Chains A and B, each alone.
Chain A
Amino acid sequence: MTFGDVPGVVETREAFGETTLVVDPDRLVEACSSLRDDHGFDMLVDIAATDYLGWGSPGVSGYIGTAQGRNLNRPSTQGLQALPAPKPKRFSLNYHLLAIKPGGPRVRVQVWLDDGEPVPTVVPIWPGADWFEREAWDMMGIPVEGHPYPERLLMDEDWEGHPLRKDYPIGGEPVRFSGEE
């Protein structure tokens, strides 16, 4: 399957037998419409956001290796054999698409975003994107522009922070009670 005619594609990658289309966020809606209408990707199966804060450098929660090698002062560190390739921006948002037809072709549409940079909604294209986009906002703090109901999904409406971000503290959160000042 070729994706040469999909608008807004910045880069096409093949890895582990999967195709990734890196798309300019401004042209995401165009690209998705083309994938659905011209390429038959009629189902959006998943939207997965990833935070790459601290990717390839030590000192961030969740990070293990150091660029220099093993750090004896940090338990379970081991030098990486190679530094991971740098990422263009902090967040990636991955749309996993599936075509319901023989062979079941799949493609991943990837957009890169800085902290606070909004991404246009794809709800008009795939209504099933509704909760996935709300989850991306709730867990990773990726604002979705044009979403019909841009609220948190899993956490409380007044929750502070976005729990799946790499800089969100692990443990030690105060216990909250309803009716608390």
Chain B
Amino acid sequence: MALTARPRLTKDPIYEGTRIPSPIPTVLEVDPAVKDTDDILTVNFGPNHPSTHGVLRLIVDLDGEVVVGIHAKVGYVHTGFEKNMEQKSWWKAITYAPRIDYLAYQNNELVFVLAIEKLLGLEIPPKAAWMRMLLSELNRIHSHLVWLATAALELGAISMFWYAFREREMIMDLSEMVAGYRMHTRYFQTGGLAEDIPAGFYPECRKFTESMPKAIEDYDALLRKNEIWEERTIGLGLLNRGDAIALGQTGPVLRASGVDWDLRRDNPYLLYDRTNFKVPVYPGGDTYGRYRVRIEEMQASVEIIEQCLDRLERMEDEPWIADDRKVVLPPREELHTSMESLIHHFKIVTEGYRVPEGEVYVAVESPRGELGCYVVSDGGPRPWRVKFRAPSFAALEGTATMVQGAYIADLIAIVGSLDTVMGEVDR
């Protein structure tokens, strides 16, 4: 697979210094000299608009077609996930996590489960770790595909949508095969996996990894050499290295601003330190760079999935969940013969297990960037506090910096390039 990056067609060199508005970093205010003249038109964009990927409201000030002021309003899908999770026992709260970011559900599940395991000091068997990585990477491809499909659709490339959703369907089928659900699988359990990996999963997954690189080349062929796409992405939505870090940007947005940073490599969790993959970095800080980073991340994810499959295929009879009866449900067949197993099962299901007192912050590289989970336990069977650090939340803070001087039509491309999921922003 030889996808070489075309030399970047520079429109403007990336800016020096900072463009973060002052004093409010997230609100771009109209120059007071022109504010009350008739040249400025204030437009309400959203909250219900197909290109906002959820319910995002932008109040945009226009001078002709040029954006001179922007104010993002969020909170339209605030559903109180964090409050709800405080009311549930630890193992029931896992069900909430995937629903926060409904495109990166497995990464959300993973970060919460990792936080519980960190508090418990629980080691998970290697088979579970490799499978978690495999599913997280499948999920990353899934999320990027949905992004690619909708972002291209917004710029008029309708056929991308059908192609990307064709491969997405394969991932959904794999999810269904493993967990029984296409989305929100809740397949990660404290201590490992909820079920053993089903027979026939590996060959199906191999089929996917064999066909996916070709599909990625096809997407790239449709867009990369497409002049309209290049015109509407290159040199737009600029964010330089310093501003990206100052605004807490992570993931593809940070890497497209020239920062070589990926938690899978730099703060490894699970067994990512035993895999080889390339971290794509683009220096342009523009919409095009974010698109390139995501395309190449999909290729890297396919490579990681293949490495996971190589390991997993040799782990047929190994355990898929830790053997800790205080936390992990006993095997189903033991319930008919063992009194102790029945008691453990009953206790875990009715009361839940206790998690030692303490506070932890765990971060994983979700498709959108650093997904963090801050968890506080008081030693009881329910979390005292759960706080998700959503990468989309930080990404949206950058809009006021990125859209300066853009056309209203490009605003949609720029906000789309951040790949925000409003469920995660508002929680």
Contact = CB atoms under 8 A, between A and B. Distances in A.
Contact of A127 (B20, B359, B393): B20
Nearest to B427: A154
Interface in A43-82: 43-46, 48-52, 55-56, 62-65, 76, 78, 80-82
Interface in B224-258: 245-250
A64 B263 contact: no
Query: Interface size for chain A: under 10, 10 to 19, 20 to 34, or 35 or more residues?
Result: 35 or more
B389 A100 contact: no
Contact of B372 (A20, A46, A103, A131): A46
B376 interface: yes
Contacts of A48: 361, 374, 385, 387, 389
B26 interface: yes
B379 interface: yes
Nearest to B243: A127
A131 B27 contact: no
Contacts of A106: 267, 361
Given A126-B248, A128-B246, A64 B382 contact: yes
A100 B385 CA distance: 27
Interface stretch (B310-318, B335-343, B349-357, B412-420): B349-357
Contacts of A148: 23-25
B263 A100 contact: no
Interface in B133-164: none
Contacts of B323: none
A148 B26 CA distance: 10
A123 B25 contact: yes
B87 A62 contact: yes
A81 B23 CA distance: 50
A106 B266 CA distance: 12
**Which of A16, A51, A103, A155 counts the most B-chain CB atoms under 10 A from its CB?**
A16
Contacts of B376: 50
B393 A131 contact: yes
| Interface residues of chain A: helix, strand, loop or mixed (majority) | loop
Contacts, number: 147
B86 interface: yes
B100 interface: no
Given A102-B266, A163-B80, A127 B363 contact: no
Given A45-B389, A55-B378, A126-B246, A85 B357 contact: yes
B351 A76 contact: yes
A104 interface: yes
Nearest to A46: B389
Contacts of A76: 89, 350-352, 381
Given A45-B370, A163-B83, A64 B380 contact: yes
B23 A16 contact: no
Given A45-B389, A96-B361, A104-B267, A128 B374 contact: no
Contact of A65 (B23, B78, B370, B379): B379
Nearest 5 Cβ contacts at the A-B interface: A128-B248, A127-B25, A154-B75, A46-B389, A48-B387
Interface of B: 20, 23-27, 74-75, 78, 80, 82-83, 86-87, 89, 118-119, 245-250, 259, 261, 263, 266-267, 350-352, 354, 357-361, 363, 370, 372, 374, 376, 378-382, 384-385, 387, 389, 393-394, 396-397, 426-427
Given A18-B361, A80-B380, A163-B83, 20 more contacts: A15-B359, A16-B119, A16-B358, A45-B248, A46-B361, A48-B387, A50-B384, A50-B385, A65-B379, A80-B378, A82-B379, A102-B266, A104-B266, A104-B267, A126-B246, A127-B25, A128-B248, A153-B75, A154-B75, A154-B427
